[in-house]
Amino acid sequence: MADLSDKAQALLEAQRTRYLASFGEKAANLRNLWKTRGESDGLELIDAVHRIAGSAGLHGQDEVRQLAAQCEQVLKDSEAEADAQRQALAALVKRLEA
Amino acid sequence: MDDSVLSGGGSALPASLELSDLAEPLLVRTDAAFRVLDWAGDPAVYDFSLEAGQDIRAAMKFLVGLDGFESVTFPMLWVDGNRPIHVSVMAQPQLGQAYVLLSDANATDMADLNLRRQVEKNEIVEYRVSQLETELETAKKEAAQASELKSRFIAGMSHEFRTPVTSVLGYVDLLEKDYGRDDRRLQGIRRSATHLLSLVENLLEHGRVVADRIEPVEEEVNLRRLFESIYMMFEPLAQQKELGFEISDQGCACEEIRTDPVRLRQIIVNLISNALRYTESGTVAVTWSQGNDRLRVAVADTGPGIPEDKRRQIFQAFSSLEDEHTRAKGLGLGLSISQHLADVLGGDIELRSTVGEGSVFSFEVRAPGVLAVNVAPPEVQAGQRRILVVEDDMDVREFLAVILADLGYAPTLAINGQQALDKLASMSPSVVLSDFHLNDISGEKLIHDICAAGTPVIAMSASNAEADRNAAFEAGCSAYLVKPFDLDVLSRELERAMHG
């Protein structure tokens, strides 16, 4: 890794502390998005998880990054499946109402 | 009337016809020739003796000259020097009958007297009421004048207080440069001065609220800087109370907005101030987000919570929930003013609370975004190269700002694709470092548009998916970095992108 100045390292350390302190709130946000996922298309939840996957590694939280990346993939797969279900159902409903 | 109703001897008078005992009525029914048919009441009371078929005028001389086809009333008659009586003859020619009603005039007089007394009493009461209304009106005027004087006094004094308190805070700033922000003595001065300033500001604002003199003064505000300064303001207090304290954004479409910064800040400060004041352990967490021209702020605490029956009360001026469980002190103005200010800014404050668990005060106000096209790029020192960073996640954006500045670049930050395109023209960066998954513009389009303008782009993403990587390269990016990336790799790719 490139050598960073003491000042930059101190700033990053402060950021890291703030980042760790935000975990509780991030968890609460994810819980809330999970609860309300039926009201939207689920992309908001995927986006929130994606952000954590992106930021965690940069702040030295590799375990969180891995969990977030796995979670993102599962959510995306599930969303794709749900989307396929929605499309199949819509086609059936459309035919029935024709 | 049914003939059986009044039977001879008066014994069949129905209860519904009974009059006052004092009036001792005697009701006699006769035919048109005043021959007695029947009666109710006791004729002996009036020294009469009645018989069916008898001409009533034989007993009641005062009816001589009348017949049963004419109704007449004698308000007062003296019968044989006895008591005065009241007589009414009610003729019913269509039935060939008449009713003669006698009653004690003394009792009637008494009733009239009582009525007159009652009327006089009512008149006296009405007069007194009108006097009281006049007195009340005068008292209200005097109270309004006193209130106006009080408001002027408070406003004047508050203004006089604010100047020196602001000065004290300025000196604390200067001293902190020498002694550091950790100096407990300075923390104490700052805390007290901040509290005093907050009280003074609220008193001033209350005066304006009472006088309905608040007009929002809008200007461009940087939300991130606003919340950072608020964090700096309260963080020492939270530390002192050993409370967790955090402010974080939940998504910000545009961090430059138009609003009244003084009033917005005051609402947020009041809510946080209350949360820290009433919370003895746990956390005060502030979240904010901006989008669709609205700013949403929520202040959540783990304080005692607010009972259902007190939730309306706490929004009233000079009202607070101080009790034996809290050592909190305040004027009870903060929420009342904040509610009014939120209204001025086109919003409303909502409260959710669970006793024993905590409260969440949240509000949403009008906050149209300002595309930062006129924001001057940072001054570039000799040897520095401009770099535009496009990242919608604050945690990553701040990280990159520190890293890039330390690597010798002059980073300009954009929080979404549109802001990046707007800044691109004005700052002419040497390279753009952009997140590939933005909310407003697809990564492919943003890379394509920036490359089309002749600026190299390095894409970055948490996704290592082949499809994303290929899409980014097809759109024209010079490199695709998967987060977390090694800083050496970042540095190398930046150099490579700029040189070719």
Chain A residue numbers touching B407 (CB-CB < 8 A): 2
Contact A50 B484 (CB under 8 A): no
Q: Distance (Å) from the C-alpha of residue B311 to the closest C-alpha of chain A?
A: 25
Best B250, B399, B439, B487 member to test A by mutation, with max A CBs in 10 Å, is B399
Specify the DSSP class assigned to residue B45: G
Per-chain mean pLDDT for chain B: 80
Q: How many CB pairs under 8 A join A and B?
A: 82
Name residue B244's beta-bridge partners.
B283
Residue B438: closest C-alpha in chain A? A47
Least confident of B68-82, B265-279, B431-445: B68-82
DSSP H helices in B180-245: 184-210, 223-240
Chain A residue numbers touching B405 (CB-CB < 8 A): 8
Q: Distance (Å) from the C-alpha of residue A21 to the closest C-alpha of chain B?
A: 7
Looking up tokens 């352990």 gives: B281
Name residue B385's beta-bridge partners.
B409
More confident residue, B327 or B475: B475
Q: Are B389 and B414 in contact (CB under 8 A)?
A: yes
Contact A22 B491 (CB under 8 A): no
Task: Please tell me the distance from the alpha carbon of residue B458 to that of residue B405, in angstroms, as a whole number.
Answer: 17
Smallest CA-to-CA distance from B280 within B326, B339, B225, B232 is with B326
pLDDT in tens, B207-224: 666 666 667 777 778 898
Query: Chain-centre distance of CA B223, in angstroms?
Result: 25
- The SS3 call for residue B345 is coil
pLDDT above 70 for B57: yes
Task: Please tell me the distance from the alpha carbon of residue B333 to that of residue B419, in angstroms, as a whole number.
Answer: 40
Chain A residue numbers touching B392 (CB-CB < 8 A): 51
Contact A54 B246 (CB under 8 A): no
Band of residue B390 on the pLDDT scale cut at 50, 70, 90: very high
pLDDT computed for residue B388 by the predictor: 92
Run of H or E residues at B348: strand B348-354
DSSP H helices in B241-333: 261-278
- Burial readout B231-261 (b: 16 or more C-beta within 10 A, e: otherwise): bebbebbbeeeebebbbbbbbbbbbbbebbb
Q: What is the mean pLDDT of residues B9-38?
A: 69
Minimum-distance CB partner of B462 among A22, A24, A54: A54
pLDDT computed for residue B204 by the predictor: 72
Contact A58 B395 (CB under 8 A): yes
Chain A residue numbers touching B488 (CB-CB < 8 A): 1-2
Angle between helices B261-278 and B184-210 (to 10 degrees): 120
Task: Please tell me the distance from the alpha carbon of residue B277 to that of residue B361, in angstroms, as a whole number.
Answer: 14
Residue A64: closest C-alpha in chain B? B484
CA–CA distances in Å: residue B165 to residues B174, B185, B441, B482: 14, 17, 48, 51
Chain A residue numbers touching B463 (CB-CB < 8 A): 50, 53, 72
pLDDT computed for residue B487 by the predictor: 85
pLDDT computed for residue B457 by the predictor: 94
Residue B483: closest C-alpha in chain A? A54
The pTM is what? 0.40
User: What are the CB-based long-range contacts (under 8 Å, 24+) for A73-82?
Assistant: A75/A42, A75/A45, A75/A46, A75/A49, A76/A46, A78/A42, A79/A41, A79/A42, A79/A43, A79/A46, A82/A42
Low-confidence stretches of chain A (pLDDT beneath 50): 1
| ipTM for the predicted complex | 0.80
